[in-house]
Every structure is written in C-alpha cells, then in structure tokens.
Amino acid sequence: MRRLSFLDDMPNTALTSTVSSAAHPLFDITIRAAILPQTASEWLTEKKRTCFAANNSSLQVAIEAGLRPAIDYILLHEATHVVDAKLKLTPAYYAAGQLLDSATAKSFTAGVWQKSDRSCPRFTAYPANAYSISPRG
C-alpha cells in the first residue's frame, strides 16, 4: 500500500490503482470523501438507488445494514482488490469489454467470466446473472 486518498466529487465510491513503476507492487486507494460521515445503511441505500429510475416510480429501495461506518466496508472491499492483484487470483484485462486471458485464470475464476463485464453462458440461465454489469451499479 502506497497511498490512501480522499477525493471530492468522485463518480464512484472508491478506486484501487496499481503503481506499476515500483519494484514491488504498490497500490493507491482513492475514496470518495462524501462517504466519510455515512453509515453502511446510508451509503448502500444511496448506491443501490442509482440502479432504479426516479421518474415517478412507486418502487423504493432501502438497505438496512446497521450503524457501522461505510468506510469499514469500503476499505475491506478495496483491500480485496489489493490481495487479488498481489496473488493474481483473477485474470488481468486492460480494456472494458476485452476478452479475458483465460490462460492466466486459476481454478478460482476459470470458466466464470467471458468478458470483463459478462459472465460465461452457463451462468446466464440464472435471472440475476442474465445481464451485463453496469458501471453505475
């Protein structure tokens, strides 16, 4: 870990970046500063509401995850990206939509992802997986 930063007005919650020029892998984690005062419930509700249209819909979504600070979950999530990159658990890809290098896949991920945003056909039979991952979600 090289740096932990907080940034105003990020469009996403957080981003973990690899510093490739270092002799050993180093990572920078940047977190949207607005989440610092939020609880996990507030943050998750805000995040999941972006998946639904607000145009006069009678549907609402709210997540109840307790009063624990959102930052706890965000740091845990971003730390898993660091562990993943260090241990090379998932295949690397370099452009959105590019086919993943299945030669680098380990048993943990082999046959799961077809592209960086689309699961393999055997998983699309399940309704929850029959869509592409949205950058908004």
pLDDT tens by residue, 119-135 = 777 777 665 554 444 44
Least confident span in 46-50, 62-66, 80-84, 113-117: 113-117
Which amino acid type is present at position 39?
A: T
Report field, pTM of the whole predicted structure over 0.75: no
pLDDT tens by residue, 36-51 = 999 999 999 999 887 7
Residues in the chain: 137
Question: Measuring CA to CA, which residue among 66, 61, 60 is closest to residue 41?
Answer: 66
Provide the pLDDT for residue 68. 96
Q: List the domain boundaries for the chain.
A: 94-137
pLDDT bracket for residue 93 (50, 70, 90): low
129 vs 88, higher pLDDT:
88
